[in-house]
Structures are given as structure tokens and as C-alpha cells.
Amino acid sequence: MLTIIALAATLLGTITRLFGPDVFDTLRRDPSQLGHGQLWRLLTPVLVQGDHSLMAIVSVFALCAAIGVAGEWLLPRGEWLLLYVLGALAGHGLGDAFQPHQSGTSVAFAAILGGIGARILLDADPRLKMWRIRFAVLVPLAVLDTALRDIHGAPYLIGLLVGLWFERQSRVRPESAGRGLGATGFRDSSRPRADGSAWP
């Protein structure tokens, strides 16, 4: 549901480009306008996809949908939302310096991917060994991505760090979490305890 809502909002914003640039110009990254107090531009670039190619837009939406649904399956709603917002802020904050006057939703989902990575990396299930390797390899690639002035590496790393913090909290104090809300305020009963058992 969260993925549908997030992508539907971006789809509506992207469709407005068919009727002129006004909405796009209002929502996209713009360092000069941000400096004049238009603080909404820290977050609103996720509401409109700036690619010119229809194929690129469809590809981004498909990839984000896959990440978002996986994130909803593995992460509590509160953590999903927090990662989405942090990814948007980090990606578009860097974008103001690296790639001004653009926009897009992929940076928000890059942070959710990092949160998924944290969950997988700390899971001892031997069946997930290859996935742990893949998510670990993404770490130096994300650093390189940022060094090359792309804006997706940093959101992934932030999502990974935040996700690791949440996972550590759930393992250190699993007994303090009850149904629907845990010690961090984000855990819910749909997520297993650290020892693999279900919540009471």
C-alpha cells in the first residue's frame, strides 16, 4: 500500500508535465530558489520524474515498485516511511550540488533498498548467503557512485546504516517490544523476533 501511494503521487506529478512545465518547475530541485526559502524543494522532487524518455520512466517505476513491495514485506511501516523520507532528503540534497534542476523518486527507494540490505546482512539464514554478498558488494559501489557525483549511493548507505540501527535495537531489546509497537516505536507484530519466534 505504501509503495502504491508513493508511486501514484509521483505518477500524478509526472503526468502534469504533459500540460506544461509549471508544476515540474515548482517541484524540482533548484538551488537558487531553495536559497530563497523554498524549502519544500528538499522533498518535492520525488513527486515528479524528470526523465525525458518514456522507457526510462517506466523502468524507474518498475524498479521502485519491486524495491518498495519487498521493503513493505520485510520492514515495518514506520521504518519504510522514515527511509523513504531520508532517501529523498539525502538524494535531492546532494542533487542540488551534483545535478541541479532535476527530480525523481528513485533516491527515496534507494534508501529503502539499504534498509532491506541491513535486514538481509544480519540474517544468519544460510539460504540468504548470496544475497548477503550482493548487498555487501553494494557498499563500496555506493561509495564509488557518490564519488562519481551520482545521487543514489548516499541514500543507499544512509538506508543501510539506519536499517542496521533498527535491526540492532530489535536484537538487543526484543523483550521490550509488544504487539504493534516496539522499543524503537517502529516495530510491529508482523515482524519476527530476533530469535525467529513470533510475537505473542
The rounded distance, in Å, linking the Cα atoms of 157 and 151 is 11
Q: 39-54 pLDDT, tens per residue?
A: 999 999 999 999 989 9
The domains found in the chain, sorted by start residue, are: 2-176 (1.20.1540.10)
pLDDT of 196 higher than 80: no
Query: What is the rounded average pLDDT of the residues 179-193?
Result: 41
DSSP string, 118-176: HHHHT---GGGHHHHHHHHHHHHHHHHHHHTT-SSHHHHHHHHHHHHHHHHHHHHSGGG
pTM listed for this prediction: 0.84
- Give the per-residue pLDDT at 198: 45
- Give the per-residue pLDDT at 169: 86
Find, among 161, 135, 5, the residue nearest to 69 by Cα: 5
